[in-house]
Amino acid sequence: MNWKNNENQRFIQAILALETENEAKKFLRDLMTENEIIEFAKRLQIVELLMEKIPYSKIEEATGFSSTTIARVSQWLTKGEGGYKIIINKLHHQDSDRLGKGLS
C-alpha cells in the first residue's frame, strides 16, 4: 500500500479532520453505500469476537459472514498492520471511561 501518494495522504487527512460522531456519520455515508457501512461494521464485530476467543461457528451465527471471511479478518488481525488491535483497544478504553464517569 502506497500511503505516500497525494490521494491517500489526503484521505487520511480527511479522516483525521473529523471531530464528532455526527461528522463521521455524514462523511462515511457520503463515502460508502449503506451495505458497505454494514459490512465494515460487521468486520469490526468479527474482530471483537475473535479477540474474545469466540469460535468461528458462533461468529458466523452472530454476523452472517462465512468462515472464509472470518478467517480472512482473523489473518488481518494477527498478521496485519495492527490497526484492528489499535482501534479495539481505543474503543474499550472509551467504554471503560464512560462506565467510570457513570459511577461517580
Indicate yes or no: pTM above 0.85. Answer: no
- Of 95, 89, 94, 47, give the one whose Cα is nearest residue 72: 47
Instruction: Give the residue-averaged pLDDT of 95-99.
Output: 68
pLDDT band at 98 (very low <50, low <70, confident <90, very high): low
DSSP code for 3? T
Tens-digit pLDDT profile for residues 30-86: 999 999 999 999 999 999 999 999 999 999 999 999 999 999 999 999 999 999 999
DSSP conformation letters of 14-42 = HHHH--SHHHHHHHHHHHS-HHHHHHHHH
- Residue 104 pLDDT > 60, yes or no? no
pLDDT band at 103 (very low <50, low <70, confident <90, very high): low
How many other CB atoms sit within 10 Å of the CB of residue 59? Answer: 24
Contact call for residues 65 and 59 (beta carbons, < 8 A): yes
